[in-house]
Amino acid sequence: MRTRFKALAALAAVAALTLAGCSSPSGEPAPGGEPAGGDEPFKVVAFTSGNQTPIGAWWVKAMDAKAKELGWDMTMIQGDFDFQKMNPAVESAIGQGADVVVDGYTDFASIGSIVTAAKDAGIPMFAIDSGTEPSDAFVLNITTDQQGIVDQTLGAFDKALGGLAGKTVMVIGHDPHAGIRLRASLAEKALKAAGAEIANGEIQKVESPATGRTEALKLVADYLAAHPDGLDAIWVGWDDAALGAAQAVKEAGSHAVVSGVDATSEAIAGIQAGGAFLATIEQPWPSILDDLIKQIEAYRADGTLPSNNFEAVQANLVTKDNAASITPSDKLG
Amino acid sequence: MATPASNTPTSTVSISAGGRSVGRLLLQSGTVVALILLIVFFFAMRPDVFLTFTNVRNILYQVSILAIIAGAQTVVMVVGDFDLSVGATSALAGAVTGALLIGGVPIPMAIIVGLIVGLLIGVANGLLIAYLRLSAFVATLATMTSVIGLAYLVTEGTTLFNFPAEFNNLGQGRFLEIPLPVYFAIVISVVLWLVLRFTTAGRRWYATGGNAEVSRLSGVNVKRARFIAFSVAGLVSAIGGILLAARLGSASAVQGEDNMMFSVAAVFLGMTVVRSGVANLGGTMVGVAIIGVMSNGLNILGVNAYVQQVLTGLIIIAAVTLSSLKTRER
């Protein structure tokens, strides 16, 4: 009996410590869904499913810093790509009262129940990179211009290869990520329009971002084994997989060039090394976050909502010429 | 001219027995036959490519890390358990080694620490399962979860890179035109095979996996046997993880996470190779070869990745069904 009591007490202590550790540093939000006014703290419910990615992890830290600076009472919910866990937690936080909800890097397709909860409570949702097209889910979603990303990377190919017509290009995408899915299909379309041939006739799909590098490495290595010197370029939707593609090119002794998106330190180092990795894309997340915060603060001040619910910001091409001046996306904070 | 139908009853019986033995032979060697059929099929589809030196080397290179991790899984499955944490252990070992290398630690020391990390995870699994009697599923699921968390802490959620060239050479270098990981995989597989086949420890593992209670009554220290099996699996998984970091020149918290699933699949496929239907290293290597040949062949034919996944699952179902049919027959 005594042992059982001790075990129960220990369990309770662990649970209490865990709950204390998991709670928001800015304190528990007060109940009610009224807009902020007077001396009441501005209550923000922020969430991201991508907190385990370098950019998601930066965003969590950056939001925390902004909340402290602006005196927000912010609850940050981190979902680890587990919507079954994250969505109810966000809905519960909304139910306890908030002035705005902020979505970081989580596609609106995955958060339908959160959107409904926020609408029911009359709370506006702001978002950063949470969909590639306008959606009524948000009063504002700022992301990067996917067509611009494609135009710039293919422009780099065009320059390096002396034109795209007649060239064989492999396109590697990942369907579950809305941004990658869109830009891969835009790349495929643009390449076909430019007269290039798509390797294997369609976009090559990587199944898991966690194994993106090895999957891309295999895809390219197998293709080059079957078609030695059969690739002129490999367009990849994100850097980690692009690094695998570049390694396969190097190992096969191919002359193909590779582009990625994200501007991670490793990709930038690869570009600077002058190997197969030709270019990547820097997405200006810090300035995008600043713009988003401005809009949230405008709403906080007098209830002004953004005039458009979608903004696509121009991203920057990173090549050997400017690689040294770029802050890698995994070193943002 | 006499036809088989005009044979005597005796010969009819012999044909029937022969048919049954052919069926049994097919059932017995179904997985090996499947591997041969896959090779023949892909060779027929792309005779100019599939069995060229470059492509065979390509396949061997691609499956070398999986072969090592599947070897680790085989040891655990021989004792009748399985280890869900092999992929996470390999990722953490690679991440720790990578972090130490970036911190300027000499290569041998960084590798040794990575191996110790893997061994410690194996020891923890062994303690939980053999001595605290947790189910292997629960214990290794829990350690997998914690180990992935540790890997995120070590890598700070990023990808570690910029390792010394000498380290990367372990995964990317070649000897006689064959990538070094292929040699490592062969050496580790042979060592594990020798241990399983010819040592007392190996026989105790098989005895434990066959019937733990009978083994215990026969004087086998079942707890120690399971403990050592999990410890070995942790250590061998770490070797795979360190080689993967060297092969990619980078390390992340989730690197090679599909190795867990494929290692279990390879062992299951391999279990169908032997008459007894138990895990065995030779069979596991046949399983690894099937997975590698399938992936490479389908890539060469340009088959959609999603279709590939469906086919891989179907092959595993077929193999496990075959295995259960054999068990029933016994």
Q: How confident is the model over A261-293, as pLDDT tens digits?
A: 999 999 999 999 999 999 999 999 999 999 999
Interface residue A205 vs chain B (CB under 8 A): yes
Say whether A244 and B248 touch across the interface (CB within 8 A).
yes
* DSSP H or E stretch at residue A204: strand A204-205
Top pLDDT among A46 and B46 is at A46
Q: Which residues of chain B make contact with A218, given a CB cutoff of 8 A?
A: 62, 295-296, 299
Report the percent of chain B where pLDDT is more than 90: 57
Which chain B residue shows the shortest CA-CA distance from A269? B162
Give the chain B residue whose CA is nearest to the CA of A206: B305
DSSP category for residue A236: E
Angle between helices A239-252 and A212-226 (to 10 degrees): 30
Cβ–Cβ below 8 Å for A218 and B250: no
Could you tell me if A208 lies within 8 Å of chain B, comparing CB atoms?
A: yes
The most confident of A17-26, B99-108, B274-283, by mean pLDDT: B99-108
The confidence score (pLDDT) of residue B5 equals 37
Mean pLDDT of chain B, nearest integer: 86
- pLDDT reported for residue A113: 87
Q: Give the lowest-confidence range in A3-12, A273-282, B127-136, B274-283.
A: A3-12
Q: Report, as an integer, the average pLDDT of B219-230.
A: 92
A204 contacts in B (CB within 8 Å)? 305
Range of the domain at B262: 49-329
Question: Does residue A147 belong to the interface with chain B, where contact is any CB pair within 8 Å?
Answer: no
pLDDT of residue A231: 97
Interface test with B, best of A51, A214, A231 (most B CBs within 10 A): A214
Q: Which of A57, A213, A225 sits opposite B49 (nearest CB)?
A: A225
* Contacts A200 to B, Cβ<8 Å: 302
Strand arrangement, sheet containing A100-104:
A72-78, A42-48, A100-104, A125-128, A140-144, A310-313
Q: How far apart are the first and last CA of chain A?
A: 51
| B-chain residues near A210 (CB < 8 A) | 252, 254-255, 257-258
Residue A110 has pLDDT above 50, yes or no: yes
User: A222, A238, A271, A277: which to substitute to probe chain B, counting the most B Cβ within 10 Å?
Assistant: A222
Two structure tokens written together for A141: 């979603």
| Mean pLDDT along residues A79-93 | 84
Q: Which of B299, B304, B306 sits opposite A218 (nearest CB)?
A: B299
B127–chain A nearest CA distance, Å: 21
Residue of A nearest to B151 (CA): A52
Kindly state whether residue B277 falls inside one of the protein's structural domains: yes
> What value does the mean pLDDT take over residues B259-265?
90
- Residue B14 falls inside a structural domain: no
Q: Does the structure show a pLDDT above 90 at B75?
A: yes
Q: How close does chain B come to A248, measured CA to CA in Å?
A: 10
- pLDDT category, A34, cuts 50, 70, 90? very low
Split at pLDDT 50, 70, 90, the class of A17 is: very low
C-beta atoms of A266 and B161 within 8 A: yes
- Segment A192-216 mean pLDDT: 91
In-domain check, residue B40 = no
Average pLDDT (A58-84) is 91
What are the strands, taking DSSP E only, across B1-137? none
A3 vs B316 pLDDT, higher one:
B316
Quick one: pLDDT band at residue A252, thresholds 50, 70, 90? very high
Query: Which has the higher per-residue pLDDT, B95 or B316?
Result: B95
Ranges A58-72, A222-236, B118-132, B254-268: which has the least confidence = B254-268
Residues of A in contact with B258 (CB under 8 A): 208, 210-211, 214
Whether B98 maps to a domain, the answer reads yes
Q: How confident is the model at residue A24 (pLDDT cuts 50, 70, 90)?
A: very low
In this complex, do B256 and A214 lie within 8 Å of one another by their Cβ atoms? yes
Q: Residue B1: pLDDT above 80?
A: no
Count Cβ–Cβ pairs < 8 Å, chain A vs chain B: 88
Cross-chain CB nearest to A223 (options B162, B257, B299): B299
DSSP state letters, B276-320: T----HHHHHHHHHHHHHHHHHHHHTT--HHHHHHHHHHHHHHHH
Give the CA count within 13 Å in the CB-facing half-sphere of B116: 8
Among B148, B159, B250, B260, most A C-beta atoms within 10 A, so best to mutate, is B159
- Please judge whether B161 and A213 are an interchain contact, meaning their C-beta atoms are less than 8 angstroms apart: no
Please report the pLDDT score of residue B275 as a whole number.
Answer: 72
- Spell out which residues of chain B touch residue A207, defining contact as CB-CB under 8 Å: 305-306, 309
Residue B9 has pLDDT above 50, yes or no: no
Note the pLDDT of residue B20.
55
Residues of chain A with Cβ-Cβ distance to B292 below 8 Å are none
Amino acid at B328: R
CATH of residue B313's domain is 1.10.3470
pLDDT for res B21: 62
How far is A198 from chain B, CA to nearest CA, in Å? 12
Alpha-carbon distance B84 to nearest alpha carbon in chain A (angstroms): 17
CA B316, CA A257: separation in Å to the nearest integer?
A: 37
pLDDT above 80 for B11: no
Q: What is the pLDDT of residue B44?
A: 93
Residues in chain B closer than 8 A to A57 (CB atoms): 156-157
Q: Is the pLDDT of residue A1 over 50?
A: no
DSSP B190-245: HHHHHHHHHSHHHHHHHHHHH-HHHHHHTT--HHHHHHHHHHHHHHHHHHHHHHHH
As for how many domains chain B has, the answer is 1
pLDDT, tens digit, 9 for 90 and up, residues A115-161: 999 999 999 999 999 988 899 999 999 999 999 999 999 999 999 99
Q: What band does B323 get if pLDDT is binned at 50, 70 and 90?
A: low
CB B253 within 8 A of CB B151: yes
Segment A157-177 shows an average pLDDT of 94
Q: Which of B252, B299, B300 to mutate to test the interface with A (most CBs of A within 10 A)?
A: B299
Q: Are A221 and B253 a contacting pair at CB < 8 A?
A: no
Q: What is the mean pLDDT of residues A316-328?
A: 95
Tell me whether residue B102 is in a domain: yes
Q: State whether A222 and B248 contact (CB < 8 Å).
A: no
Q: Write the burial class of residue B195 (CB in 10 Å: 0-12 exposed, 13-18 middle, 19+ buried).
A: middle
Q: Is the dihedral of CA A269, B100, B169, A213 positive or negative?
A: negative
- Give the model confidence (pLDDT) of B45-55 as tens digits: 989 888 999 89
Angle in degrees, CA A199, A200, A205, rounded to 5: 95
Q: A232 at the B interface (CB within 8 A)?
A: no
Q: Over range A23-38, report the average pLDDT.
A: 41
A225–B300: do the CB atoms touch at under 8 Å? Answer: yes
Whether A228 and chain B come into contact, CB under 8 Å, resolves to yes
Asked if residue B136 is part of any domain, the answer here is: yes
Q: What is the ipTM of this complex?
A: 0.71
> Do residue B257 and residue A207 have CB atoms under 8 angstroms apart?
no
Name the nearest CA neighbour of B32 among B311, B270, B295, B299. B270
Residue A262 in contact with partner chain B when CB distance is under 8 A: no
Measured in angstroms, the CA of A327 and the nearest CA of chain B are apart by 15
Residues from chain A that touch B161, judged by Cβ atoms under 8 A, are 265-266, 269
Min Cα distance B87 → chain A (Å) is 12
Instruction: Establish if B12 belongs to a structural domain.
Output: no
Checking if the pLDDT of A258 tops 80, the result is: yes
Question: Which residues in B lie closer than 8 A to residue A330 (C-beta atoms)?
Answer: 158-159
Whether the per-residue pLDDT at B298 is higher than 60: the answer is yes
Per-residue pLDDT averaged across B278-294, rounded?
91
The reply to whether B13 falls in a domain is no
pLDDT single digits (tens) B160-216: 888 999 999 999 899 998 999 999 999 999 999 999 999 999 999 999 988 888 888
Per-residue pLDDT, B15: 40
- Given this model, what pLDDT does residue A9 score? 52
**What is the model's pLDDT at position B25?**
60
| Torsional class of A274: left (φ above 0), alpha (ψ -120 to 50), beta (otherwise) | left
